[in-house]
Amino acid sequence: MTKSNAFYAQSGGVTSVINVTACAVINELRKNQQQIKDIYAGNNGILGALKEELIDISCEPQGNILKLMHTPGGAFGSCRYKLQESSADFERIIHVFKAHNIRYFFYNGGNDSMDTAHKIAKYSKHIGYDLQCIGIPKTIDNDLAITDCCPGFGSAAKFLATSMSEANQDVASMCATSTKVFVLEVMGRHAGWLAAATAMATFDDNSPHLIIFPEILLNIDKFLALLEQKVKTHGYCCITISEGAKYETGNFLSASTSVVDSFGHQQLGGTAVNICTLIKKNLGYKYHYAISDYLQRSARHISSKVDVDQAYAVGKYAVELAMSGETDKMPVIIRKSNIPYRWAIKSASLEKIANKEKKLPKEYIDNDGFGVTQQFYDYLQPLIQGEEVPIYKNGLPVYAKLQKKLVEKKVKIYTPNI
Amino acid sequence: MTKSNAFYAQSGGVTSVINVTACAVINELRKNQQQIKDIYAGNNGILGALKEELIDISCEPQGNILKLMHTPGGAFGSCRYKLQESSADFERIIHVFKAHNIRYFFYNGGNDSMDTAHKIAKYSKHIGYDLQCIGIPKTIDNDLAITDCCPGFGSAAKFLATSMSEANQDVASMCATSTKVFVLEVMGRHAGWLAAATAMATFDDNSPHLIIFPEILLNIDKFLALLEQKVKTHGYCCITISEGAKYETGNFLSASTSVVDSFGHQQLGGTAVNICTLIKKNLGYKYHYAISDYLQRSARHISSKVDVDQAYAVGKYAVELAMSGETDKMPVIIRKSNIPYRWAIKSASLEKIANKEKKLPKEYIDNDGFGVTQQFYDYLQPLIQGEEVPIYKNGLPVYAKLQKKLVEKKVKIYTPNI
Please give the model's pTM, rounded to 2 decimal places: 0.96
Q: What is the ipTM of this complex?
A: 0.96
Asked if B298 and A167 come within 8 Å (Cβ–Cβ), the reply is: yes
Asked if A269 and B288 come within 8 Å (Cβ–Cβ), the reply is: yes
Cα separation, B127 vs B141, whole angstroms: 34
Nearest by CB to A389, from B16, B293, B389: name it.
B389
> Strand order in B4-10's β-sheet?
B54-56, B36-42, B4-10, B102-109, B132-137, B329-337, B342-349
Instruction: Find the closest chain B residue to A175 by CA distance.
Output: B79
From chain A, the residues in CB contact with B172 under 8 A are 73, 77
Nearest by CB to B294, from A81, A167, A389: name it.
A167
| Alpha-helix runs per DSSP H in B134-270 | 153-174, 193-197, 220-234
Q: How far is A262 from chain B (nearest CA, A)?
A: 9
Which tens digit of pLDDT belongs to each residue from A242-273? 999 999 999 888 755 445 555 565 555 579 98
The four Cα atoms A140, A145, A146, A149 give a dihedral, to 10 degrees, of 10
Instruction: Find the closest chain A residue to B175 by CA distance.
Output: A79
Confidence at B362, pLDDT banded by 50, 70, 90:
very high
Q: How far is B176 from chain A (nearest CA, A)?
A: 6
CB–CB of A17/A71 below 8 Å?
no
Any A CB within 8 A of B35 CB: no
Q: C-alpha distances in angstroms, A340 versus A63, A151, B397?
A: 34, 20, 20
Nearest by CB to B177, from A47, A169, A297: name it.
A47
Asked if B182 and A294 come within 8 Å (Cβ–Cβ), the reply is: yes
Three-state secondary structure string covering B6-50: EEEEECCCCCCCHHHHHHHHHHHHHHCCCCEEEEEEECCCHHHHH
Cα separation, B340 vs A144, whole angstroms: 50
Q: How far is B177 from chain A (nearest CA, A)?
A: 6
CATH architecture of A4-139+302-356+388-397: 3-Layer(aba) Sandwich (3.40)
- Dmax of chain B from CA atoms? 75
Residues with Cβ within 8 Å of A346's Cβ and at least 6 positions away in sequence, in order, are A331, A332, A334
Nearest by CB to B384, from A261, A395, A418: name it.
A395
Low-confidence ranges of chain A (pLDDT < 50): 257-258
| Residue pairs between chains A and B whose CB atoms are closer than 8 Å | 223
Domains B4-138+301-356+386-397 and B153-299 fall in the same CATH topology:
yes
Q: What is the mean pLDDT of residues B60-71?
A: 96
pLDDT reported for residue B46? 97
pLDDT reported for residue A264? 60
Any A CB within 8 A of B103 CB: no
Which tens digit of pLDDT belongs to each residue from A187-202? 998 899 999 999 999 9
pLDDT reported for residue B85? 79
Any B CB within 8 A of A281 CB: no
Residues with Cβ within 8 Å of B74's Cβ and at least 6 positions away in sequence, in order, are A170, A173, A174, B10, B14, B18, B19, B45
pLDDT reported for residue B84? 86
Q: What is the mean pLDDT of residues B142-153?
A: 97
Q: In chain B, pLDDT over 70 holds for what percent of residues?
A: 96
Average pLDDT, chain B: 95
B153-299 maps to CATH 3.20.20.140: no
pLDDT reported for residue A319? 98
Q: Is B170 a catalytic residue?
A: no
pLDDT reported for residue A87? 82
pLDDT reported for residue A257? 44
Asked if A73 and B297 come within 8 Å (Cβ–Cβ), the reply is: no
The ranges assigned to domains in chain B are: 4-138+301-356+386-397, 153-299
Nearest by CB to A301, from B10, B162, B200: name it.
B162
Which A positions 174-193 lie with beta carbon below 8 A of chain B? 174, 176-178, 182, 184
Q: How far is A412 from chain B (nearest CA, A)?
A: 21
Per mean pLDDT, which range of A26-35, B90-99, B253-262 is the poorest?
B253-262
Best residue of B178, B257, B287, B289 to probe chain A, by most A CBs closer than 10 Å: B178
Best residue of B177, B207, B287 to probe chain A, by most A CBs closer than 10 Å: B177
Instruction: Find the closest chain A residue to B396 by CA distance.
Output: A162
Asked if A173 and B78 come within 8 Å (Cβ–Cβ), the reply is: yes
Which A positions 326-345 lie with beta carbon below 8 A of chain B? none
SS3 category, B154: helix
Any A CB within 8 A of B401 CB: yes
Q: Which of A38, A112, A115, A141 is catalytic?
A: A141
Asked if B270 and A273 come within 8 Å (Cβ–Cβ), the reply is: yes
Which tens digit of pLDDT belongs to each residue from B281-301? 999 999 999 999 999 999 999
pLDDT reported for residue A207? 97
Any A CB within 8 A of B213 CB: no
Fold that domain B4-138+301-356+386-397 belongs to in CATH: Rossmann fold (3.40.50)
Residues with Cβ within 8 Å of A166's Cβ and at least 6 positions away in sequence, in order, are B16, B72, B73, B294, B295, B298, B299, B300, B301, B397
- Between β-strands B392-393 and B396-397, what pairing exists: parallel, antiparallel or unpaired? antiparallel
Nearest by CB to B200, from A73, A172, A396: name it.
A396
- B239 versus B269: which is more confidently predicted? B239
Which tens digit of pLDDT belongs to each residue from A33-87? 999 999 999 999 999 999 999 999 999 999 999 999 999 999 999 999 999 877 8
Asked if A396 and B165 come within 8 Å (Cβ–Cβ), the reply is: yes
pLDDT at B267 over 60: no
From chain A, the residues in CB contact with B289 under 8 A are 269, 291, 293
What residues pair up with B334 in beta bridges, in sequence order? B344
Q: What is the mean pLDDT of residues B200-226?
A: 97
Q: What is the mean pLDDT of residues B327-355?
A: 97
From the candidate CATH numbers 3.40.50.460, 3.40.50.720, 3.40.1010.10, 3.40.50.11890, the one assigned to the domain spanning A153-300: 3.40.50.460
Q: How far is B401 from chain A (nearest CA, A)?
A: 10
Q: What is the mean pLDDT of residues B85-97?
A: 93
Q: C-alpha distances in angstroms, B30 versus B36, B62, B107, B155, B178?
A: 7, 11, 18, 27, 58
Best residue of B173, B198, B385 to probe chain A, by most A CBs closer than 10 Å: B173
Q: How far is B293 from chain A (nearest CA, A)?
A: 5
From chain A, the residues in CB contact with B200 under 8 A are 395-396
From chain B, the residues in CB contact with A295 under 8 A are 163, 166-167, 184, 290, 292, 295
